[in-house]
Amino acid sequence: MNVVYPSNNKEKQLSSDDAVKIINKVKPKVVIITHFGIKMLKADPLYEAREIQKQTGIQIIAAKDGMVINPISYSTGLRQKTLNMYK
């Protein structure tokens, strides 16, 4: 998904806020955000990806230059383990 601007931006291109609306309607298993503008790069795409993930509950990946993801071997079911079992 081309997310050019960070949240709270009123430009005519896609922002993080717009991405949240689309993701909540479509309900994909995973979203890769890419095509960052300079304002998004200054705001930190990784931070924006985390915020989108918090708001949607969908796994979000902030793309990097040269990044390669094999969709066949990528599992959305495998999440980072938490320490809750050690309470």
Q: What is the pLDDT of residues 21-38, one digit of tens each?
A: 999 999 998 999 999 999
Rounded average pLDDT over 73-77: 63
Please tell me whether residue 63 adopts helix, strand or coil conformation.
Answer: coil
Rounded distance between C-alpha atoms, residue 36 and residue 56, angstroms? 20
Q: What is the mean pLDDT of the chain?
A: 89
In this prediction, what percent of the chain has a pLDDT beyond 90? 68
Does residue 77 register a pLDDT over 70? no
Report the pLDDT value the prediction gives residue 70, as an integer from 0 to 100.
Answer: 80
Tokens matching residue 64: 């990097």
Predicted model pTM: 0.79
